Amino acid sequence: MTTSRSSAFVDSLVAFGGTSTTDRVLYVGRPNIPDREAVLARVGAALDRKWLSNDGPMVREFEEVIEARLGVRHCVAVANATQGLSITAAALGLHGEVVVPAFTFVATAHSLAWLGITPVFCDIDRRSHQIDPAAVEAAITERTTGILAAHTWGRPCDIDALDAVAARHGLQLFFDAAPAYGASYQRTSIGNFGRAEILSFHATKIVNCGEGGAILTNDDEIAAAARLMRTFGFADTDLVTSIGTNAKMSELAAAMGICSLSEFDHYLDVNVRNFEQYTSALADVPGITVVPCEPNTGINYNNVVIEVDPQVAGIHRDLMLEMLTAEQILVRRYFWPGCHRMEPYRSLRPPTDTDFPVTDEVAARVLSLPTGTGVEAGDIERVCHLIAGLVEHGAEITRRAPAGTGSPP
């Protein structure tokens, strides 16, 4: 391409004084909204009953639908997944240290630290971005009591290998499955592995309650303990038998969740369509890789994630992020810079550049792209056209960007 044509593309970018061709803002995690009338009818029924919390009929219905769909013995609905993780850790009697991936949403670590448990970070697998079982084993000490693995991007991690590690060392294994509703591992639904798995039904998830979560387990004792803990430890009216907290899901959240569950197949179809369009459109863009699905797993495709290789693409991920954001395409650099580089963990155990090299590399390269029912085929075409142009003209964009713009930290 000639310099003049290159300059024309770069000049057209909003970041360099150009004018956006659309007022449409694209978000990562825009909520999937189920049928409005169905939601309002259920909310109205809750208002008519004047039963809005405290294990209402819609919370129980929500739990039963998930149990039936996922084939799991117990679903314990909670206010959010973070509380679900903390409650599960307490129900398992964890203390001392628990091994977690360095590359995960910070709630994974916070849910343990809130209880006085030390999250010990480990590195991830380079291809899948999932927790590395070998790194888990290397992080185990005499103070380790458990492993909290995460299904990053809603994609199952290497459950069999982690089971083996936990068995060898006599550790409790449970999973932060926050974005993994509808995913499967070797044809078994997520929710059936380890001692328990915790789902999120936050607004950004494929199925949402607005805000909510659930503890899934096939263990009667864990389920019973979790039910007590989510409601202050009340075993009966005026009978408190253990320490607990307030982690109850409301009837209004459950109403949203039941309606959202009923449209899961539609949401999944849209996600698959979007993922396939992104994958096809970006296949030949140098330095851009759409993170694939691993063999023997099923996923809900609610996260479309790319890696940007700056040496091949000719542009750094952070500069690409700034260019796209200026175009009202609000991509996200999850889970930068890695939990080990966030406070308070950074100060407690100052990381070096050699501690978690894979996490550091992946965290510096990934971008999460807009998907879900709020994104249309034309939107994806626009996103991919811009990404391809940013790569094609990466050298000029990098040269013209203000000093320090989009440069790696």
Band (pLDDT 50/70/90 cuts) for residue 23 is: confident
Residue 293 pLDDT > 90: no
Q: Write out pLDDT tens, residues 324-349.
A: 999 999 999 999 999 999 999 999 88
The pLDDT score that the predictor gives to residue 409 is: 46
CATH 3.40.640.10 segments of the chain: 36-262
Topology (CATH level 3) of domain 36-262: Aspartate Aminotransferase; domain 2 (3.40.640)
Instruction: State phi, psi for 23 to the nearest 5 degrees.
Output: -95, 0
Average pLDDT of the chain, as a whole number: 95
d(CA 358, CA 280): 27
Going by pLDDT thresholds of 50, 70 and 90, the confidence category of residue 40 is very high
> Which of 99, 108, 230, 264 has its CA nearest to residue 166?
99
Full-model pTM: 0.95
What is the tens place of the pLDDT at every residue in 113-164? Answer: 999 999 999 999 999 999 999 999 999 999 999 999 999 999 999 999 999 9
| pLDDT tens-digit map of 294-313 | 888 999 999 999 999 999 99
User: Which ranges in the chain are annotated with CATH 3.90.1150.10?
Assistant: 3-30+264-331+370-400
pLDDT of residue 352: 81
CATH match for 3-30+264-331+370-400 among 2.20.25.90, 3.90.1150.10, 3.40.50.2300, 3.20.20.70 = 3.90.1150.10
Backbone dihedral region for residue 257 (phi beyond 0: left; psi -120 to 50: alpha; all else: beta): alpha
- Please say if the pLDDT value at position 1 is more than 50: no
3-state secondary structure 250-276: CHHHHHHHHHHHHCHHHHHHHHHHHHH
Neighbours of 30 (CB within 10 A): 17
Q: Is pLDDT larger for residue 312 or for residue 20?
A: 312
- pLDDT class of 259 with cuts at 50, 70, 90: very high
Contact 383, 374 (CB under 8 A): no
